[in-house]
Structure 1
Amino acid sequence: MKKLQHLFFLFLILTPALFYGQKYSTRAGVLKFEASVPSFEEVAAENKSTSAALDASNGDIAVLALMKGFRFKVALMEEHFNESYAETDKYPKATFKGKIEGLDVAKLTSEPRTFNISGDLTMHGKTKKITDTAKVSISGSNIIITGDFQVKPADFGIEVPKMVSKKVAEKVTITYNLSLTK
């Protein structure tokens, strides 16, 4: 009888965690960056294997991108990115840990709503506070988070050599599209 009472008590304690522990994740998020300037070759790449996790009960979000996962149209540009700029052997990943303010999954619809998002972006061994807006919607059982923001490579200790500095934008636009499932 005591075992049954203990099991019942354990069930009462864990039930809210089962229903309210709304964890969503993906390993197929898409990150793009664009650092092109007019009249020069496109400087852009895409990473289709970005990992992300969202705790929908409080809006906490974490994103991880392996830097070698970025693909360029030009192989030589990808090689230069990995060896000279991102130094991916030394700094293999970029992370974002933050919060989507005021997120309430019960109020999400297929029509994207705008939320403030803020947190710490760590890349190339440096961390910078990022504050921006994100569009959040729901599609079936997936939460879709999209948006973009800009960063300066110099803020992360990434040096652009003088001879190519006119061919690379001072501000890089990072675009994200995350489809997270339970």
Structure 2
Amino acid sequence: MKKLILFFFLSLTTLSFSQDKKSTKTGEITFEASVPSFEEVKATNKGVSCILNTKTGEIAALALVKGFRFKVALMEEHFNENYIESNKYPKAIFKGKIENFDSSKLSSAAQKFTIKGTLEIHGKTKDIISIAYIKKTGNSIDITNEFDVNVDDFNIEIPNVVSKKLSKKVNVKCHYVL
């Protein structure tokens, strides 16, 4: 009987803690560094992990760099080997906080929030501020945000041969259903 009561309380404790966090392993990040009149430079990673603490608004996301897929295989190879050096820097990590986040006030209509945090790519960390649109979809929380990063901030070198074909300002779009 003691074991049954202990099991019940442990289960209840686990459930109450797990309700404070929402997560996914199927988040999506798309980035684009295209320049007009040249071939599209765009990639998507559909295996991004993201976790949100619904009580504090703290959020973190992790993307394996080799998970980004391009339309052109050669671009993917150059991205991993020459630019981002994914063997040396295999992860892109964001850690931050959604300002004034209150999960109890979410509805099916997207609300605008500011997310402040740090983005680590290519061994460098940079402060990032972005606008996110967050809504409740059933039991899930849907987060969409977009921001720009400059490759120079992360010491990503673009060779002169292709410098006119790639933008140094990269647009990043994220979507998570937690």
Q: State if a TM-score over 0.5 links the two structures.
A: yes
CA shift, 1:17, in A, is 7.8
List runs of 5+ in structure 1 lacking aligned partners: 1-6
* 4+ residue runs over 4 A deviation: 14-17
CA shift, 1:16, in A, is 11
CA shift, 1:163, in A, is 1.1
CA shift, 1:22, in A, is 1.4
1:25 match = 23
Question: SS of 1:162's equivalent?
Answer: coil
List runs of 5+ in structure 2 lacking aligned partners: none
1:137 match = 135
Contact 1:21 1:57 in 2 (8 A): no
Identity %: 54
Bigger shift: residues 35-44 or 101-110: 101-110
In the aligned structure 1, how far is the partner of 2:26 from the partner of 2:137?
A: 16
Closer, same or farther in 2 for the Cα pair 1:21/1:38, shift >3 Å? same
Give the total of aligned pairs. 175
CA shift, 1:105, in A, is 1.0
2:94 match = 96
Question: SS of 2:69's equivalent?
Answer: coil
| Offset from partner CA, 1:127-162 (integer Å, 9 cap, x none) | 000012100001001100001000011100100011
CA shift, 1:15, in A, is 5.9
RMSD (Å), alpha carbons: 2.3
Question: SS of 1:154's equivalent?
Answer: helix
2:52 match = 54
Contact 1:20 1:57 in 2 (8 A): no
Q: 1:81 aligns with which of 79, 82, 88?
A: 79
In the aligned structure 1, how far is the partner of 2:168 from the partner of 2:80?
A: 19
Q: Which protein shows a greater Rg?
A: 1
| Offset from partner CA, 1:82-119 (integer Å, 9 cap, x none) | 00001000000000000001111111011100001000
